[in-house]
Amino acid sequence: MTVGPLKEQQVARFHCDGYLLIDNLLDAEETRLLGETARSDDLLRQAAMDVKDTKGRRTELSLWNHPGDDIYGVVARSERIVLAMRQLLDDEVYHYHSKLSAKEPREGGAWEWHQDYGYWYENGCLYPQMASVFIAIDRCTRANGCLQVLRASHQFGRFDHGRHGEQSGADPERVAAAAERCELVHLEMEPGAALFFHANLLHASDANLTEQPRWGLICCYNTRRNDPYKPSHHPGYTPLVVAPDSAIKEIGARGAQPDQGFLRQEDDETTG
């Protein structure tokens, strides 16, 4: 097993349940810097895509491939996340992409039940040796659309996915069967908490019907041995320059740069 910051019991829990929730992965100051930077970042907002759910509610989604020297990239490259991902996936990892999901008050849409590997498979990734970490910028509650998962559903393997409104969702018949066999868990999170989850874990979220925003940064990783066999809109293996944890506060409120390389609407994918 690769050496890293997680305890053996935490790694075992991830493999059993398909996810691992860690409170206070970012401390209060780091979370404040991340949130304030994202909300005042003109480039980030200009690049945001409006992704609608089946009822027409929209979530703003900004998506990019390579982590830079802004606060989002430093978080994605931080030791505490990268070394944990190495442990969970038992291999060298690289940054597959990141996204900022912004559910605004009263209008933030739902996300359909899906597996990330349901569509990453189509990008030429042969193995489901991939995972993401959702970092809560705001408090995430059942009322404002926190992540929901079907515990241990990653053990079913990949389900077929199709379009549902403007999103990609898993086969509803199989999702219903999975829901009869797996515990439904609403993952309420405080700002700074992080959810590591396997690429085959079924997850979704409801619309935000409250007066409070629900923003989150999602960083996604692939393993070196799972280098895609064909090109797609996400990168192949690219060595990751790991940043010390102290770099988050050192970089401070530095937002996206003009060469960030945001992806377009046609490259959109479902997320939490």
Beta-carbon contacts of 266 under 8 Å, excluding residues fewer than 6 positions away, are none
* pLDDT in the model for residue 267: 55
The three-class DSSP label of residue 36 is helix
Q: Is 213 within a domain?
A: yes
The boundaries of the domain holding residue 184 are 10-266
How many independent structural domains does the chain possess?
Answer: 1
The CATH number of whichever domain residue 145 belongs to comes to 2.60.120.620
* pLDDT in the model for residue 18: 98
Q: Is 2 within a domain?
A: no
Q: Is 142 within a domain?
A: yes
Q: Is 150 within a domain?
A: yes
Q: Is 3 within a domain?
A: no
pLDDT above 80 for 265 = no
Q: Is 88 within a domain?
A: yes
Q: Is 272 within a domain?
A: no
pLDDT above 70 for 1 = no
Question: For 146-205, how does the pLDDT look when each residue is reduced to its tens digit (9 = 90+)?
Answer: 999 999 999 999 999 987 666 778 999 999 999 999 999 999 999 999 999 999 999 999
Q: Which of 43-52, 100-109, 198-207, 256-265 has the lowest mean pLDDT?
A: 256-265
Q: pTM of this prediction?
A: 0.95
Q: Is 163 within a domain?
A: yes
**Distance set, CA 117 to CA 4, 59, 127, 132, 269 (Å):** 25, 21, 9, 11, 11
Between 265 and 56, residue with greater pLDDT: 56
